[in-house]
Structure 1
Amino acid sequence: MRRRHLMVQKRILTIDDEPDVRAMLKARLESKSYEVIAAADGEEGLEKVEYERPDLIILDVMMPRMDGYTFIREMRNRYPDLKIPIIVLTAKDKLKDLFEIEGIGDYLTKPYDAQELLQKIEKFLGTK
């Protein structure tokens, strides 16, 4: 009997208020065999963290209801034992704000290079 080696899919949560960005990230990441969960803002993102327990989060900064900065603070307060790496997508003029936020693993400025994003994901998840 031949054994199959099952590979566990890594789960990535994308949080962005722009539907086109969420769709593009989902398509690109699923083509690389990641499981993708999407949220439209920080509040929805917190719900997804609680129930889905992603391996990595890709987070937009400027969103309605709850922005990326508030999301990070809330997530760290609610789930202090979760050590989920976060890659932040931001505009260049917001870079200085990132250094005030604890818990960011890395960032990319918009518009970002898709290959660079994949490299950062692979670095955190140990995938290729």
Structure 2
Amino acid sequence: MEGSEMRRGAPCWHRRPDVGLSGINDAVFVQSAMYSTLKRYFSVKSYYKNVLEMFNEMLLKCSIGHHLEKQLTKTDKPDLSLFTMEKYEAITKYKTAYYTFQMPVGLALLMTGIDDPETHRQAKTILLEMGEFFQIQV
């Protein structure tokens, strides 16, 4: 989304000559398939609603992260005076930490019946810090 040629060591999907802007439709398709899969396998589970909420929250957080990053890199020559540690931490948290660290563990806690809010809060705090550390290393 930020103009990269590569993503995690592979060419970005939308950069392929046979994909281009149809990659937008592909993303919508994948998201729709995700919800269909969740419904098919988990709709009868007591945690289904919470799982859907977690996926919705993750999608929102990732979108916020991409938006924040794009605001800092709108032009070919980014204005570094706009860049602060607070903004960087927000970008790493929203763009990477939620879906890479917090979400998998949060889902595992829900699916194993661990629904204590304090346990989730503590795990989230630790996992978001791990996500920030991970992003700094990349």
The question of a shared fold, defined as TM-score above 0.5 by the shorter chain, is answered with: no
TM-score calculated relative to the size of structure 1: 0.31
Task: Determine which structure has the larger strand proportion and give its number.
Answer: 1
Task: Determine which structure has the larger helix proportion and give its number.
Answer: 2
